[in-house]
Amino acid sequence: MSVVKEGLWDNNPIFRQVLGICSALAVTNLVLNTAVMCFALTWTTALSCLTVSLLREWTPHRIRMMVQTLIIAFYVILVDLALKAYWPEMSRNLGPYVGLIITNCIIMGRCEAFARSNPPGKSFLDGLFSGLGYSFVLLMVAVVRELLGMGTILGVPMPYFSTLWDKWIIMVMPPGAFFTLACLIWIFRSIRSGEEEKSV
Amino acid sequence: MRDKAWYPVLYMFIATAFFSSILIGLARFSRDRVEANQRLSVEKAVLEALPIELPREASSLELHRIFLERVTGPSAASGNAYVLLEGDEVAAYAVPLEGKGYWDTIRGFIGIASDKNAVTGISFYEQNETPGLGAEIVQPPFRNQFVGKRIAEGDRPLGFRPAGSALEESEVHAITGATQTSTRVEKIINEDLAGWRSGLRSNGDSGS
């Protein structure tokens, strides 16, 4: 249970560890693209952690980073192939960002910090919930950006925002991600610092 | 065994061979599908630029069948454009567009009627412009305004004007907020149309 809470809240990759920010900024201007990206990342983190943990007894210490990168790349390429073959439009939308999941610090971070010294089941859960923790923050950023920037959510026009609202074009441009993400991190950290004061 | 110097090398070798062989196998398995998807997206773009009534929500397979029935591939006589046939007569051309967009290469087609003057449509099958801004070039509001335009003589067949301004019959509205994409798409269209027209003419001259 603690693993679940760690990934989603106490140690949330985005607003606690501030990892994986590059993709959080790049692919959050449309909710659908973000959802696919989040799925790909969660899948990769969970299965990479599982595999790293399964191999932890046999992997020589000195080359463990190479092995981890190999495993992560393996799962990312699987997603990339599946998208190219079965969802070509989405593959084109995400462009290079699927491949760039390999370099996402969250995955390597969880493999190094957790999976290589914990049993497979626990590592899988840790990876899964770290991925979900990343996803929920990203989806919030995406909803805000798509709504304020284009007046839609998942491409469906929203009342008020699609008609009367003067669309903030900057929200779908890269700077919009900085503003939104910074505000979210600010809000979440304020909530958390309140919690800490109470518990002390 | 594990403290031997060769163990890490052997381990890495086996791990790499194992994971790569799975990936190579799967890539082979999906290669035909990936290539077919790319071909289909080109065919769909050709059809969308041409004056054909496409069934709503047509599947890729239906589109592929219509493409095979009605469209012939690029040839020297058509200036390397795809040709829509009505019986044996040329009904329209789909002139390929290609050039640098703001972020990435833009590829598509512009349809020109058999009079080599009236525009029948425009479509893009490859672009990576900013979603919500430049990427609006693939949306109907932008694309529909090309239908029925007439291309002008000279090296600027189609002009882009700021949204809201009055238009000549060879002008369309640019996308507000996407100046970079608009200027580049305008340049691509004009260069490729001018190139296509001069290609057709020189071909016609040599034939006569």
Domain boundaries, chain A: 2-199
Give the number of A-B residue pairs with CB atoms closer than 8 Å: 66
- Residue A154 distance to chain B (closest CA, Å): 13
For A80-138, what is each residue's pLDDT tens digit?
A: 999 988 888 888 778 778 888 888 888 888 888 888 888 999 999 989 998 898 898 88
Is the CB of A148 inside 8 Å of chain B's CB atoms? no
Q: Bridge partners of B90?
A: B85
Share of chain A above pLDDT 70, in %: 96
What is the average per-residue pLDDT within B181-188?
94
Question: Could you write out the three-class secondary structure of B4-67?
Answer: CCHHHHHHHHHHHHHHHHHHHHHHHHHHHHHHHHHHHHHHHHHHHHCCCCCCCCCCHHHHHHHH
Assess A66–B contact: CB distance below 8 Å, yes or no.
yes
Each residue of B131-151: pLDDT tens digit? 778 888 998 889 999 999 998
- Average pLDDT of the residues in B69-97: 88
How far apart, in whole angstroms, are the C-alpha atoms of residue B190 and residue A89? 27
Q: What is the pLDDT of residue B208?
A: 39
Structure tokens at A156: 């469906």
> Per-residue pLDDT for B162 more than 70?
yes
pLDDT of residue B21: 95
Q: Are B101 and B127 in contact (CB under 8 A)?
A: yes
Of A30, A67, A77, the CB nearest to B131: A30
Least confident of A28-32, A51-55, B123-127, B181-185: A28-32
* B135: nearest CA partner in chain A: A93
Amino acid in the structure at residue A157 = P
pLDDT of residue B204: 63
- Nearest CA to B188 out of B106, B78, B81 is that of B106
Work out the mean pLDDT of chain B and round it to a whole number: 88
pLDDT, mean of residues B161-187: 90
Specify the DSSP class assigned to residue B135. G
Strand ranges of the sheet holding B119-126, from the earlier edge strand across to the other edge: B71-72, B82-86, B89-100, B105-113, B119-126
pLDDT reported for residue A196: 60
- State which residue of chain B sits closest to A93, comparing Cα positions: B128
Q: Exposed/middle/buried for A191, CB within 10 Å: 0-12, 13-18, 19+? A: exposed
Spatial separation of the C-alpha atoms in residues A59 and A67, rounded to whole Å: 8
What is the distance, to the nearest Å, from the Cα of residue B66 to the centroid of all Cα atoms in its chain?
18
B58, pLDDT greater than 80? no
ipTM above 0.85, yes or no: no
pLDDT at residue A198, as a whole number? 57
- State yes or no: pLDDT of B120 exceeds 80: yes
Closest chain A residue to B178 measured between Cα atoms?
A: A169
- For A171, the closest chain B residue by CA position comes to B132
Torsion angle of the four alpha carbons B180, B181, B185, B191, in this order, in degrees rounded to the nearest 10: 30
B207: distance to nearest CA of chain A, Å? 42
In a 13 Å sphere around the CA of A111, the CA atoms on its Cβ side amount to 29
Q: Where are the domains of chain B?
A: 45-207
Mean local confidence (pLDDT), A68-75: 93
CB B52 within 8 A of CB B66: yes
Question: How high is the pLDDT of residue A24?
Answer: 76
By the CB < 8 Å criterion, does A44 face chain B?
no
Searching chain A, which residue's CA lies closest to the CA of residue B136?
A150
pTM value surpassing 0.80:
no
Of B174, B106, B180, B119, nearest to B146 by C-alpha is B119
pLDDT of B177 reads 86
Asked if the Cβ–Cβ distance from A85 to B34 is below 8 Å, we say yes
Within an 8 Å CB–CB cutoff, is residue A159 touching chain B? no
Query: Which among A67, A86, A150 is the nearest to B15, CB-wise?
Result: A67
Residue B69: both structure tokens together: 């029935």
The residue of A25, A27, A29 whose CB has the most chain B CBs within 10 angstroms, and thus the best one to mutate to test that interface, is A29
Tell me how far apart the alpha carbons of residues B23 and B25 are, in angstroms, rounded to a whole number: 5
Asked if A88's CB is within 8 angstroms of B26's CB, the reply is no
Nearest to A81 among B26, B130, B131 (CB): B26
The predicted model gives B102-112 an average pLDDT of 93
Average pLDDT, chain A: 83
Confirm or reject contact between A81 and chain B (CB < 8 A). Answer: yes
**Shortest CA distance from A62: residue in chain B:** B8
> Which residues of chain A lie closer than 8 angstroms to B4, CB-CB?
none
3-state secondary structure of B172: strand
For chain B, give the percent of residues with pLDDT over 70. 98
What is the C-alpha separation between A153 and A145, in angstroms, rounded? 9
Has residue A158 got a pLDDT over 80? Answer: no
Q: For an interface test with B, which of A94, A171, A173 has the most B Cβ atoms less than 10 Å from its Cβ?
A: A173
